[in-house]
Amino acid sequence: MTTGYLLVNLGTPASTGVADVRAYLGEFLTDPYVIDLPTPLRQILIRAFILPFRPRRSAEAYAKIWDAAGPQTGSPLLHFSQALHEALAGRLGGTPCELAMRYGAPGIDEAVDRLLAQGVRRLKLLTLYPQHADSTRQTTIEAVARRLPETVALDVVPPFFDDPDYLAVQADVIHRHLPVRWDHLLLSYHGLPEAHLRRADPTGSHCLASEQCCETPSVAHATCYRHQVRVTSARLAAVLGLTDAQWSVSYQSRLGRLPWLAPYTDQVLGSLPEQGVRHLAVACPAFVADNLETLEEIGMAGRDTFMAAGGESFTLIPCLNAEPDWVSVLYGWLTGAGPQTSAALSETAR
């Protein structure tokens, strides 16, 4: 049985043009896993209140980081994802391996079709998100499954938020990029609405039901983004040898007025200087490739917020991107038993 591999990241607009950004946001936001509303209400919200205004602002933000990876590279997320794919495909030799984006191009349907054309009858899917969230991993898994015929087996690599090899590579990147002088390491993760955690809770009664829910053992942790964020953070701090006072966690990129996971990164950045933090480093362990949320939201807007509040230096730690050791870890997962995690999803292989 021929095995093929598919790497999937979130996605990016085709260009910084408003029309391309609008098309990308339209595809992204209409996913019910992203905006959890009945279809008619979701469509009204998107068409009447988001797409008439947000694409222009987002296009301006994308323009600030386009080609950030080098001349004529375009989208950083696409560039770094392609570099990772090319390095991994080189390690795999002639084994079929494709890269896709959940939204935008290269699309999942086309990537799956290319794998099928090469005779693949067992597909191993790696979603490029360390922690599980329905709005990233689950929607990707379902999109791939919809395209596969019943004769093709689907194996999904579990979340790797606490895999020792992942943590070692992530900690090494952080360590190598910490400046000589720093007071605090902020681990900023992409935020989620609190409602998403409750929806993903298979028990229906554990997530956010108490202040200790993330520390209280539960089957809900297999799909709980906040629990997995906390585990990643604590274990990274342990590998780096940090004291409790040297690091903290926050959540960025919230949208709308509903409660999202807190504390919010923008508010934390504005408050750290008054707490005595003058030299700040920020890492973003929810992402494996640098993108708009790391380069512009944190590296530019976040930096401005911190410095305006009294900070003296700000260092953005890069994502794993196509680090050679990261490529080696992924190669081992795809060709071996996969990540070692304490709360792996029990996904069904067809």
When pLDDT is cut at 50, 70 and 90, the band that residue 68 belongs to is: confident
Distances in Å between the Cα of 110 and the Cα atoms of 14, 24, 120, 204, 239 are 16, 17, 14, 36, 40
Tokens read off for 68: 């950030």
Let me know the angle formed at the C-alpha of 300 by 295 and 303, rounded to the nearest 5 degrees: 120
- Say if 88 falls within a structural domain: yes
From the centroid of its chain, how far is CA 37?
22
Vertex 96: Cα angle to 95 and 98 (nearest 5): 135
Q: Both tokens of residue 10?
A: 């979130």
In a domain, 169, yes or no: yes
Residues 6 or more apart in contact with residue 298 via CB below 8 angstroms? 188, 252, 265, 282, 284, 316
| Average pLDDT over all residues of the chain | 94
11 lies in the same domain as 111: yes
Q: What's the rounded Cα separation, in Å, for the pair 154 and 178?
A: 40
At 72, the pLDDT band (50, 70, 90 cuts) reads low
- Cis amide bond preceding 324, omega within 30: no
Question: pLDDT at position 240, please?
Answer: 98
Average pLDDT, stretch 143-149? 97
Q: Are 282 and 315 in contact (CB under 8 A)?
A: yes
- 264/294 Cα distance (integer angstroms): 15
Q: Are residue 294 and residue 191 in the same domain, yes or no? A: yes
Q: For residue 6, what is the DSSP state?
A: E
Q: Which amino acid is at 225?
A: Y
Q: Which residue has the higher pLDDT, 39 or 192?
A: 192
Regarding whether 312 and 328 lie in a shared domain, the answer is no
Report if residue 340 sits inside a domain. Answer: no
Residues 112 and 124 in one domain: yes
How far apart are alpha carbons 25 and 245 in whole angstroms? 38
Please write the tens of the pLDDT for every residue from 152-187: 999 999 999 999 999 999 999 999 999 999 999 999
Contact 258, 194 (CB under 8 A): yes
CA-CA distance, 224 to 236, in Å (whole number)? 18
Please state the pTM of the whole predicted model.
0.94
Q: List the strands of the sheet with 153-156, edge to edge.
A: 97-103, 3-11, 122-127, 153-156
Give the other-Cβ count within 10 Å of 78's Cβ.
Answer: 23
Check the CA dihedral 121-11-99-129 and report its sign. negative
Q: Is residue 344 part of a domain?
A: no
Tell whether 94 and 47 lie within a shared domain. Answer: yes
Same domain, 77 and 47: yes
- pLDDT at residue 344 greater than cutoff 50: no
State the Cα–Cα distance between residues 34 and 168, nearest whole angstrom.
31
Q: How does pLDDT run across 244-271, given as a tens digit for each residue?
A: 999 999 999 988 788 999 999 999 999 9
Are 72 and 104 found together in one domain? yes
Give pLDDT, residue 347. Answer: 39
Same domain, 13 and 113: yes
Same domain, 109 and 231: no
For the chain, how many structural domains are there in total?
Answer: 2
Residue 348 has pLDDT above 80, yes or no: no
Residue 208 maps to which CATH number? 3.40.50.1400
Same domain as 210, residue 136:
no
Identify residue 25 by its one-letter amino acid code.
L
The arithmetic mean of pLDDT across residues 56-80, rounded, is 90
With respect to residue 269, please indicate whether it lies within any of the assigned structural domains: yes
Residues 206 and 99 reside in one and the same domain: no
Q: How confident is the model at residue 349 (pLDDT cuts 50, 70, 90)?
A: very low
Domain extent for 136? 3-160+324-335
11 lies in the same domain as 153: yes
Is 345 domain-assigned? no
Q: Exposure of 18 by Cβ count < 10 A (0-12 exposed, 13-18 middle, 19+ buried)?
A: middle
Q: Would you call the peptide bond into 202 cis, given omega within 30 degrees of 0 as the criterion? A: no
Q: Is residue 347 part of a domain?
A: no
Q: In this predicted structure, what is the pLDDT of residue 180? A: 96
Q: How confident is the model at residue 83 (pLDDT cuts 50, 70, 90)?
A: very high
